[in-house]
Amino acid sequence: MPGSFDYGVWIVCTLLEACVVVSALRSNSLSRYFFLNIYMGLSFLASVGRYLVISRSGVSSMEYAYFYFYSDALLTIGLYFALLNLYSLVFDEMKVGRYLKIGAVVLLGGTAWFSYAVINQSSHRILSHFAFELSQNLYFVGLILTYVLWGAILKLRETRARLIQLVLSLGVYFSAFAADYALRNLYPNLQGAFHYVTPMLGCILPAAWTFSFFWVNEEARLAPSRLATVSR
Amino acid sequence: MSRKLSVILLAMLALVGAMSLKTVAVAHGDGSVIMANGGAPVPPVPWK
């Protein structure tokens, strides 16, 4: 059973998810960052649903396991669309929206096909295992896409402060979970410490996005760190 | 047409990169799962 620390972190995380949507509403950014807010709204609803299932059936019940993994697959798809939302904002001046849509469909379809191919060989509970596998695979796709987007932001010399902050916080979020996974495997004797660290990582993204929507103005620009010099 | 094919190629490259990364991570892992959605406690995987 989760302890008071786990419940405390979970409540903070859930409140921060709601704060993201409220902050976006307050700064009139809901339509511009529509899928980011859809994702945060879904995360909030999933947290409430998970709590209801835990309080009724317990954390080690099959009901909670299935609810958790199905809702996780839904949330990961939501995160994928949130990432595409950021892509469309970064590339909006290049008028490549049509190509982004083609790429997104191919990538999502390819990931779904790969997930099905893996579980088709190994499982008889195809639907639930598929949701789990798709969620895991989309996590890695999201990780790669975030780094690619960061590379594009550097290459295009993007200066919109809020957009940069949203992308960077997503990169930190993905990287933190990857680092946590790697360290858990490298140091299995430190499971006690990771029990406290891993849930807190879930608060990084809602906290950073709340900060971005609440305190960083849409019109804010980052000053270039250095000027390009041209030899004469 | 060539731009569309380039986009498809880039998407496939991203997919291959992500799946390779996942294969490497899972092969060297202890079988635990990577879940990056919220602070809810992760339940045991029911189909293992």
To test the contact with chain A by mutation, choose from B37, B45, B47, B48 the residue with the greatest count of A C-beta atoms within 10 A, namely B37
Per the domain annotation, does B3 fall within a domain? yes
pLDDT in tens, A68-118: 999 999 999 999 999 999 999 999 888 888 899 899 999 999 999 999 888
- Tell me if residue B29 falls in helix, strand or coil: coil
Let me know how long chain A is. 232
pLDDT of residue A71: 93
The answer for A 68-87 residues in CB contact with B (under 8 A) is 68-69, 71-72, 75-76, 79
Based on its alpha-carbon atoms, the radius of gyration of chain B, rounded to whole angstroms, reads 16
- Decide if B47 contacts A150 (C-beta within 8 A): no
Please tell me the total count of domains within chain B: 1
Per the domain annotation, does B20 fall within a domain? yes
Per the domain annotation, does B44 fall within a domain? no
Per the domain annotation, does B36 fall within a domain? no
- Tell me if residue B46 falls in helix, strand or coil: coil
Per the domain annotation, does B46 fall within a domain? no
Tell me the sheet residues that pair with A221.
A160
* Chain A partners within 8 Å of B32 (Cβ): 181, 184-185
> What is the complex's ipTM, to 2 decimals?
0.87
Per the domain annotation, does B45 fall within a domain? no
Distance from the Cα of B18 to chain A's closest Cα (Å) equals 5
Q: What is the DSSP string of chain A?
A: ---HHHHHHHHHHHHHHHHHHHHHHHTT-TTTTHHHHHHHHHHHHHHHHHHHHHHHH-TTSHHHHHHHHHHHHHHHHHHHHHHHHHHHHHTGGGT-HHHHHHHHHHHHHHHHHHHHHHHHHH-S-HHHHHHHHHHHHHHHHHHHHHHHHHHHHHHTT--BHHHHHHHHHHHHHHHHHHHHHHHHHH-GGGHHHHHHHHHHHTTHHHHHHHHHHHHS-TT-BPPPSS------
Domain ranges of chain A: 4-215
Per the domain annotation, does B7 fall within a domain? yes
Q: Tell me which CATH homologous superfamily contains domain A4-215.
A: Rhodopsin 7-helix transmembrane proteins (1.20.1070.10)
CB contact under 8 A, A145 and B14: yes
Burial environment of residue B39 by CB neighbours within 10 A (0 to 12, 13 to 18, 19 or more): buried
pTM for the complete prediction? 0.90
pLDDT in tens, B9-30: 999 999 999 888 888 887 877 6
Per the domain annotation, does B37 fall within a domain? no
What is the domain extent for residue B24?
A: 1-31
pLDDT in tens, A157-173: 888 999 999 999 999 99
Nearest of A75, A60, A65, A79 to residue A128 by alpha carbon? A65
Q: Quick one: pLDDT band at residue A195, thresholds 50, 70, 90?
A: confident
Distance from the Cα of B27 to chain A's closest Cα (Å) equals 11
| Residue of chain A nearest B29, judged by CA positions | A185
Q: Quick one: pLDDT band at residue A124, thresholds 50, 70, 90?
A: low
